[in-house]
Amino acid sequence: SLVAKPVFVHARKRIRWRLVTSWPKSLDVLFGAPQKIAELVHQMTDGLFDIRVYAAGEIVPGLKVLDAVQEGSVPIGHTALYYYTGKHQAFAFACGVPFGLTYRAQNVWLDKSKGGRLLEKLLADFNVVGFPAGNTGAQMGGWFKKPIRSVDDLKGLRFRIPGLGGKVMARLGVSVQLLAGGDIYPALERGAIDGTEWIGPYDDEKLGFYKVAKYYHYPGWWEPSATLHLIVNRKAYESLPKEYQEILKTAAKVANQQMMEEYDAKNPPALKRLLQKGVKLVKFSDEIMTRAQKEAFSLYEELAAKDALYRDIFEDWKNFRGEIAKWFGTAELAINQFLYGR
């Protein structure tokens, strides 16, 4: 036949973006999430949409990622939204709060709830679009020089813990310390603090806390999971072809699962190595957990009384948390207890 075959030719945009993060490269699983996103976007656009990933401090400080993306000085960033509770307290729910949602519950809530939509509106007020793009899972409860058995044991203890976890610890009588990552080990070594929390076995091992504080507590009830977000300047996002928007969203969702996988692959051997080095595991008692949960919820109620948006998000979150607990308390909990509880 002489009829020409149709040729589908699309002129596609070449785009180069710089992506800023809140992570040093040494936190390779956290930093690996935006790298994964960049890699996927590159592969899915035949290299036309090119994203280069920068560590904290390379372009903007780690805790200024939202500011930079909001202003548009960079189009895109990867961060933990609870760093920005100074801008709005409700950002805490986007990431994780004490006695909050576990990984799977958090994914559902952010994706499908009224609270998730309200958080998107809050982000829109800051001129950004956000997508969950990573999770640490349940964190560990941190390193102490002595085993902590009761709320009494916590009183007066100098413990390094930021954020809402720190606020709850303060209500339990802890002398809460705020120290950046690199300052923790020296402070612990010379006895300026009695303990510290960080993330989990894989990241904690690298900072060497086990050498000077061998009682490793669990769970980190202040972070039953912690979602990291990919945030994009709204104008920059809207300037993308629809196809690239979908590719970016999809890559973020893959990164959300991929980071969980990375931690679940790297934490088990790290925990094993730590135990071989003489680390002792200590489970926080029900007394501590119950008291801490009570203080956490009284804190949320206080914040809800001051701000209508916070209250709306908190009420939706609290209701969701109660409903999903009944389901996660049956098949999933029972098989986990049987397989992992002995």
**Positions 309 through 338 that interact with a copy of itself (CB under 8 A):** 323-338
Q: Is 197 flagged in the annotation as binding? A: yes
Choice from 23, 144, 210, 284 touching a copy of itself (CB under 8 A): 284
Q: Is 198 flagged in the annotation as binding? A: yes
Choice from 99, 126, 159, 215 touching a copy of itself (CB under 8 A): 99
Q: Which stretch binds a copy of itself (CB under 8 A): 55-63, 146-154, 228-236, 247-255?
A: 247-255
Q: Is 39 exposed, middle or buried (0-12, 13-18, 19+ CB in 10 A)?
A: middle
Specify the residue, 237 or 328, whose C-beta has the smaller distance to a copy of itself. 328
Find the binding residues for a copy of itself in span 31-60 (CB under 8 A): 40, 43-46, 48
CA 198 – CA 201 distance, rounded (Å): 9
Q: CB of 227: closest distance to a copy of itself in angstroms?
A: 13
Find the binding residues for a copy of itself in span 152-181 (CB under 8 A): none
Phi/psi for 162 (5° steps) reads -90, 180
Q: Which stretch binds a copy of itself (CB under 8 A): 167-175, 184-192, 283-291, 304-312?
A: 283-291
- What is the rounded (10 degree) CA torsion for 329, 331, 333, 334? 120
Specify the residue, 40 or 76, whose C-beta has the smaller distance to a copy of itself. 40
Answer yes or no whether residue 286 interacts with a copy of itself by CB under 8 A. Answer: yes
Q: In what order do the strands lie in the sheet with 76-79?
A: 49-54, 15-21, 76-79, 227-233, 128-135
Q: Is 160 flagged in the annotation as binding? A: yes
Q: CB of 222: closest distance to a copy of itself in angstroms?
A: 10
Distances (CA, A) of 256 to 36, 144, 160, 189: 10, 31, 28, 35
Count of CB atoms situated within 10 Å of the CB of 111: 12
Find the binding residues for a copy of itself in span 208-237 (CB under 8 A): 218-221, 224
Answer yes or no whether residue 107 interacts with a copy of itself by CB under 8 A. Answer: yes
Answer yes or no whether residue 7 interacts with a copy of itself by CB under 8 A. Answer: yes
Segment (H or E) for 281: strand 280-283
Q: Which two tokens stand for residue 278?
A: 């003489």
Q: In what order do the strands lie in the sheet with 142-144?
A: 175-177, 158-160, 195-196, 142-144, 215-218, 280-283
What are the binding residues? Answer: 139, 160, 197-198, 223
